[in-house]
Amino acid sequence: QKEVEQNSGPLSVPEGAIASLNCTYSDRGSQSFFWYRQYSGKSPELIMFIYSNGDKEDGRFTAQLNKASQYVSLLIRDSQPSDSATYLCAVLSGYSTLTFGKGTMLLVSP
- Site residues, another protein (CB under 8 A): 4, 8, 32, 34, 42-46, 49, 88, 90, 92, 95-98, 100-103
- For the bound state, the minimum distance from the C-beta of residue 61 to another protein, rounded and expressed in Å, comes to 15
Whichever of 2 and 18 has its CB closer to another protein, that residue is 2
DSSP result, 60-99: TEEEEEETTTTEEEEEESS--GGG-EEEEEEEEETTTEEE
For residue 3, give every residue at least 6 positions away whose Cβ sits within 8 Å of its Cβ, in sequence order, or none: 25, 26, 27, 99
Whichever of 17 and 26 has its CB closer to another protein, that residue is 26
Whichever of 17 and 102 has its CB closer to another protein, that residue is 102
